């Protein structure tokens, strides 16, 4: 959307220093939204996203915070409120992926992943539920792995199954607020998170799996985000599988 309304809208993108988060931030900025690029440890990358947006004529700032810490994220929402007057869109891409077979998964790693992916999503969703303005949208992130079920992904998929459950219930709890709540579930996407630790052969095999015969790009996923954040007002309480038809 490039209407006057869109130029007044404000979006927070958690994990905005990452591949999908950065692409989503830039795509929403291209639609005229003022964008807050959240980061945890990637300050330099978040600044790069902000610079890219401002160079293209958009408005963006980078803000830090631990998504699982309600005080830190509450402060982030307060800062956005003070700076821009409110929040209309929250895109929650922040997450980590730690892989191992169930029999070998380190439970400290399991707990760390649940803290970020489940508790973090819950904290941000709670704040969004309290603060999103009418006409707003919350977009959480799952994964197509919940359908594909490959070995070593059980703990990660469990966190995303939890994200889907809480998000779809929240959509029903937001009755009367004129706020949509959805999940985007990407398939194999060419990001650092996905490519790390994979051989060229593994990457080629995954790229050949979808009928479209390629990996997704962060920009592909950002288009789904832009649709749900803008014109897709009648899509609510859904999981959108952005995966090129892989499953």
Residue 1 is predicted with a pLDDT of 38
Residues 6+ apart with CB under 8 A from 53: 25, 26, 29, 35, 37, 59, 60
Does 246 map to a domain?
no
pLDDT score recorded for residue 191: 85
Residue 64 inside a domain? The answer is yes
Give me the number of domains the chain comprises. Answer: 1
Per-residue pLDDT at 6 exceeds 50: no
Whether residue 105 is contained in a domain is answered as: yes
Q: Is residue 247 part of a domain?
A: no
Least confident of 14-28, 51-65, 120-134, 202-216: 202-216
For 92-150, the DSSP string reads E---------GGG--HHHHHHHHIIIIIHHHHHHHHHHHHEEEEEEEEEE--THHHH--
**By residue range, what is the domain housing residue 96?**
4-241
Helix (H, G, I), strand (E, B) or coil at 55: helix
pLDDT at site 4? 38
pLDDT of residue 56: 97
Domain of residue 56, CATH code:
3.40.50.720
> In this structure, is residue 104 part of a structural domain?
yes
Q: Which residues are catalytic?
A: 156
In a domain, 144, yes or no: yes
β-strand partners of 180: 137
For range 81-89, the mean pLDDT: 97
Q: What is the DSSP letter of 190?
A: -
In a domain, residue 149? The reply is: yes
The beta strand positions in the chain, using DSSP E, are 10-14, 34-39, 60-64, 87-92, 132-141, 180-186, 239-242
């Amino acid at each position: 959307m490039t209407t006057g309304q869109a130029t007044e809208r404000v979006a927070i993108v958690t994990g905005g220093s990452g591949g999908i988060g950065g692409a989503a931030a830039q795509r929403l900025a291209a639609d005229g939204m003022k964008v807050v690029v959240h980061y945890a440890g990637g300050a330099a990358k978040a600044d790069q996203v902000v610079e890219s947006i401002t160079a293209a004529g958009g408005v963006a700032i980078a803000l830090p915070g631990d998504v699982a810490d309600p005080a830190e994220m509450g402060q982030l929402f307060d800062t956005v409120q003070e700076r821009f007057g409110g929040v209309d869109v929250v895109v929650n891409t922040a997450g980590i992926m730690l892989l191992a077979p169930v029999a070998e998964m380190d439970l400290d790693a399991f707990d760390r992943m649940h803290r970020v992916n489940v508790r973090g999503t819950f904290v941000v969703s709670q704040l969004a539920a309290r603060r999103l303005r009418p006409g707003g949208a919350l977009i959480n992130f799952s994964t197509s792995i919940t359908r594909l079920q490959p070995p070593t992904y059980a703990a990660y998929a469990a966190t995303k199954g939890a994200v889907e459950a809480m998000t779809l219930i929240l959509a029903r709890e937001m009755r009367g607020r004129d706020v949509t709540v959805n999940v985007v579930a990407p398939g194999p996407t060419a990001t650092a998170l996905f490519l790390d630790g994979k051989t060229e052969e593994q990457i080629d095999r995954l790229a050949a799996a979808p009928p479209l015969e390629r990996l997704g790009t962060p920009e592909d996923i950002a288009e789904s985000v832009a649709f749900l954040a803008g014109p897709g007002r009648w899509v609510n309480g859904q999981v959108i599988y952005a995966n090129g038809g892989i499953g």
